[in-house]
């Protein structure tokens, strides 16, 4: 960050049109999150591969067809996809330098994320009751690891966005907070995209065959 940019950050001069890309720090952050998303994609690809290799090994436990209930999972999917949309609206609000709008839409995003997590936990409890456990079979281990890893990403995402909302509430939209918000929303989209793949590969394909 050159000194001119820094002064800009410290005095509250009006923000430039794309505040998240105005500083070198901001640009580095955005590039960094894209790289992180690349690495995470590989991580999830490995977990998907493991799941596909082991999904037949249910060892007398319930099979995917018996287990999965599409309506509930579809509802969860819808919730998460909507939260992606609301986070976009939050970023739009950020570009309009509208703190209220940012807080509103990111707040809704967090709530939807929490609702999704709640559904997932409920789903897990049901499965365990049906005899589909983490330690019961290789299928169980692979299933809970894949979905659980995604769930922990959701949890991390809502915590992160909540923290950023607190910072925005305290300091407003600055050259420091805007890249953070932008980056968190990118991460959030990634988490959603992973879910779309989980929905297709795990649930729909599990139902079909």
Partner 1 sequence: MATLVVLLVFALFIVAILTGGYNKQMISRFRSHWLWEWLTTVDHKKIGILYAIGGGFFFIFGGIEALLMRIQLFFPDNQFIVGRDFNELLSMHGTTMIFFVAMPLLFALMNVAVPLQIGARDVAFPFLNALGFWLFLAGGLLMNLGWLFGGAPDSGWTNYVPIALNQYSPGSGIDYYVLGLQIAGFGTTMGGLNFLATIINMRAPGMGFLRMPLFTWTSFVASALILFGFPPLTAGLFLVMFDRLFGAQFFEVALGGNPVIWQHLFWIFGHPEVYIVVLPAFGVMSDVISNFARKRLFGYTSMVFATLLIGFLGFMVWAHHMFTVGMGPMVNSIFAIATMAIAVPTGIKVFNWMFTMWGGKITYSTAMLYAVGFIPTFVLGGVTGIMLALPPADFQYHDSYFVVAHFHYVLIGGTVFGILSGLYYWWPKMFGYKLNETLGKWNFWVFFIGFHLTFLIQHFIGLFGMPRRYFTYQEEDGITLFNQISTVGAVMMGVGALLFVANIVVSYRNRTSLVAGNDPWDGRTLEWAISSPPPVFNFAQLPQVRSLDCWWHEKMEGNKEMEPAEPLDHIHMPNDTPLPIIMSLGFFISGLGLVFRAFEVGVLGLVVVVVTMFVRSFKPDHGYHIEVEEIKATKKGA
Residues in contact with partner 1 by the rule CB under 8 A: 1-3, 6, 9-10, 24, 27-28, 31-32, 35-36, 38-40, 42-43, 46-47, 49-50, 53-54, 56-59, 134-142, 145, 163-164, 166-167, 171, 176, 180
Residue 15 or 79 with smaller CB distance to partner 1: 15
- The least distance separating partner 1 from the CB of residue 176, rounded to whole angstroms, comes to 7
- Contact present, 154 and 113 (Cβ < 8 Å): yes
Residue 51 or 77 with smaller CB distance to partner 1: 51
- The least distance separating partner 1 from the CB of residue 152, rounded to whole angstroms, comes to 11
- Contact present, 22 and 176 (Cβ < 8 Å): no
Residue 98 or 167 with smaller CB distance to partner 1: 167
Residue 31 or 196 with smaller CB distance to partner 1: 31
């Amino acid at each position: 960050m050159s000194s001119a940019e820094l002064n800009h950050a410290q005095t509250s001069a009006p923000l430039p049109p794309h505040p998240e890309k105005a500083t070198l720090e901001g640009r580095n952050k955005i590039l960094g999150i894209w790289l992180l998303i690349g690495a995470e994609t590989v991580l999830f690809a490995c977990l998907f591969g493991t799941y596909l290799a082991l999904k037949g090994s249910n060892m007398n436990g319930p099979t995917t067809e018996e287990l999965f209930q599409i309506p509930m999972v579809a509802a969860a999917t819808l919730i998460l996809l909507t939260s992606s949309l609301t986070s976009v609206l939050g970023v739009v609000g950020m570009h309009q330098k509208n703190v209220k709008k940012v807080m509103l839409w990111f707040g809704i995003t967090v709530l939807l994320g929490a609702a999704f997590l709640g559904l997932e936990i409920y789903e897990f409890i049901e499965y365990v009751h049906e005899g589909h456990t983490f330690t019961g079979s290789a299928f169980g281990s692979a299933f809970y690891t894949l979905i659980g890893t995604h769930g922990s990403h959701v949890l991390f995402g809502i915590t992160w966005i909540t923290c950023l909302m607190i910072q925005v509430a305290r300091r407003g939209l600055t050259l420091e907070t805007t890249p953070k918000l932008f980056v968190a929303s990118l991460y959030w989209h990634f988490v959603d995209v992973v879910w779309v793949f989980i929905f297709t590969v795990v649930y729909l394909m599990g139902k079909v065959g």
